Chains A and B, each alone.
Chain A
Amino acid sequence: MKHRFDIVVDGETVAARAGQTIMDACDDAGVYIPRLCDVEGLVPQGSCRVCTVKANEHPVAACTQPAEARMKVENDTLEIKNYRRDLVRMLFHEGNHLCPICEASGRCELQAMAYRLGISQATKYPYLQPVRPVDASHPDIALDNNRCILCGRYIRASRDVDGKNVFEYVGRGIHKRIGVNAKNLAATDASIDDYAMSLEVCPVGCIIRKREGYFAAVGERQFDRRPIGTDIVAPRRRGRSRPRGERAKDAEDSEQSCAKNV
């Protein structure tokens, strides 16, 4: 049996096993740590930094940092929340994220994360407004790099699950983007049935499955009714041990965010 120990997350004891990351342990315990580049089933890479927590006073990425015995983790504090808001805003301003015209709206993890973190106003960051070519060569898939947040999820999915290596990062710094392993997407062996092209892999609207857009009506979309992360928060923890007033406020907030999800 694997070595077991406890870590403390925001004052609550969470059981962990040797070899687990902070995020693994928290997911098992039903404590949600916001994340964008990490997703169940793929190797974590710690690039979006949205899962930043403080472990023993030091900021680390929860998806890659191994849990250690007696580790004290800060997750839901104002300081950490502000870092996460800044990071999500940076991603919004780096690309062209026009929610009202995007077919990923309502099931977009970037949009849902912004609502969860309470971002509802314009920020002081400048918009970089990139003009990157859209690759629509493939009969079933289009690739819009302007909506990419460089999470690398479909790079890993194509490499580790499909075994095809269709995608890779190209360039560096602010010019970094996703490239395909050929002249264009049609020239690769990518297929609409690849795991990399499934709806759960791309968190935004960068991979577009042709002829499937807007399949869910407003109100029926993935994050219309419940904020992102609800599936991880353990049922026994939802609303438990929190003052009644605060719970009511949460419900109000999520209702507002549903109404605003355009």
Chain B
Amino acid sequence: MPFGVSVAEVLDRAGAKDPAAVQVGGASGEMIGRTDFQRRVCFEDLSTAGAITTFSSRRNVLEIVAYYMDFFIDESCGYCTPCRVGNVFMKKALEKIMRGLGEPSDLDYLSELGKTIIATSRCGLGHTSPNPILSTMKHFPLVYSALLKERSGGLEAGFDIQGALDEARTIAKRRSLIYDATYGSDE
């Protein structure tokens, strides 16, 4: 196919059924949604050396992104700080959101961290590794915001008190007087 072809044309030729997300340019490229399928594959718009991956509406965008981030964590050689450490932090924040513990400020955290990794990494891997998260935050904002919650009740936002107590419960072999509502009621 020639450069300048639209994503929709590519999908049509490939016979993609029910495409919901398209990753242009491999793991470090840009992931676009249905509203962007008229965009063109070229250096000025969506650049790629030929790798285009399509995903149907039955796929979870965040799972795909988590898989790509695992790939980059694995591929990082560890030479420079931002790529070695930053990618791990990006993945951890993504996991936190996927577990439903995310809060709106996590999006700022991800974009700032991603910006630092892109600007300060030594090679192309770190210059592009935050792209799966950054481009899905841009093109699939609702996927993220659906999982984010504002917290109240005085606990640090995103802090999972039950999860934090689990280890202590196991060690002490008893439950918490304060945080287990039913504790003591059956005695």
A contact residues vs B (CB 8 Å cutoff)? 46-50, 52, 59, 61, 82-83, 86-87, 90-91, 93-94, 124-126, 128, 149-150, 169, 171-176
Nearest B residue to A124 by beta-carbon distance?
Answer: B109
**CA of A128 to CA of B88, assembled, Å:** 9
Question: Closest CB of chain A to B104's CB: distance in Å?
Answer: 13
**CA of A25 to CA of B65, assembled, Å:** 43
Contact of B78 with A174 in the complex, beta carbons under 8 Å: yes
**CA of A175 to CA of B85, assembled, Å:** 10
Question: Closest CB of chain A to B115's CB: distance in Å?
Answer: 8
Question: Closest CB of chain B to A239's CB: distance in Å?
Answer: 29
Residues in B neighbouring A50, C-beta threshold 8 A: 81
Main secondary structure of the interface of B (DSSP, over half): helix
Contact among A46, A91, A169, A172 for B85, CB-based, below 8 A:
A91
**CA of A150 to CA of B120, assembled, Å:** 16
**CA of A52 to CA of B119, assembled, Å:** 9
How many A-B residue pairs lie within 8 Å, measured between CB atoms? 80
Residues in A neighbouring B113, C-beta threshold 8 A: 86
| Interface members, chain B 55-76 (any A CB < 8 Å) | 73-76
Nearest B residue to A61 by beta-carbon distance?
Answer: B122
Contact of B77 with A172 in the complex, beta carbons under 8 Å: yes
Contact among B82, B84, B109, B122 for A176, CB-based, below 8 A:
B84
Cβ-based interface call for B17 (8 A):
no
**Contact pattern, B 94-121, Cβ under 8 Å of A = 1, otherwise 0:** 0000000000000001001100100111
Question: Closest CB of chain A to B123's CB: distance in Å?
Answer: 11
Contact among A46, A94, A126 for B122, CB-based, below 8 A:
A46
**CA of A124 to CA of B78, assembled, Å:** 22
Contact of A49 with B109 in the complex, beta carbons under 8 Å: no
Interface size class of chain B, counting residues whose CB lies under 8 Å from the partner chain:
20 to 34
**CA of A49 to CA of B123, assembled, Å:** 12
B contact residues vs A (CB 8 Å cutoff)? 73-82, 84-86, 88-89, 92, 109, 112-113, 116, 119-122
**CA of A128 to CA of B76, assembled, Å:** 17
Q: Which of A48, A49, A87, A174 has the most CB of B within 10 A?
A: A49
- 27 A-B residue pairs with CB within 8 Å: A46-B122, A47-B79, A47-B81, A47-B122, A48-B80, A48-B81, A49-B120, A52-B120, A59-B120, A61-B122, A86-B86, A86-B113, A87-B82, A93-B85, A94-B84, A94-B85, A126-B89, A128-B88, A149-B81, A173-B75, A173-B77, A173-B78, A174-B76, A174-B78, A174-B88, A176-B77, A176-B79
- Given known contacts A82-B116, A174-B85, what 15 new A-B pairs fall within 8 Å (CB)? A86-B82, A86-B86, A87-B82, A87-B120, A90-B82, A90-B85, A90-B86, A94-B84, A94-B85, A126-B92, A128-B85, A149-B81, A171-B78, A173-B74, A174-B78
Residues in B neighbouring A149, C-beta threshold 8 A: 81
Residues in B neighbouring A46, C-beta threshold 8 A: 80, 122
Contact among B73, B75, B77, B80 for A49, CB-based, below 8 A:
B80
Q: Which of A52, A61, A87, A93 has the most CB of B within 10 A?
A: A87
Contact among B73, B75, B80, B116 for A86, CB-based, below 8 A:
B116
Residues in A neighbouring B119, C-beta threshold 8 A: 52, 59, 83
Question: Closest CB of chain A to B50's CB: distance in Å?
Answer: 27
Contact of B81 with A90 in the complex, beta carbons under 8 Å: yes
Question: Closest CB of chain A to B38's CB: distance in Å?
Answer: 32
Residues in B neighbouring A52, C-beta threshold 8 A: 119-120
Question: Closest CB of chain B to A188's CB: distance in Å?
Answer: 23
**CA of A125 to CA of B91, assembled, Å:** 11
Residues in B neighbouring A87, C-beta threshold 8 A: 81-82, 116, 120
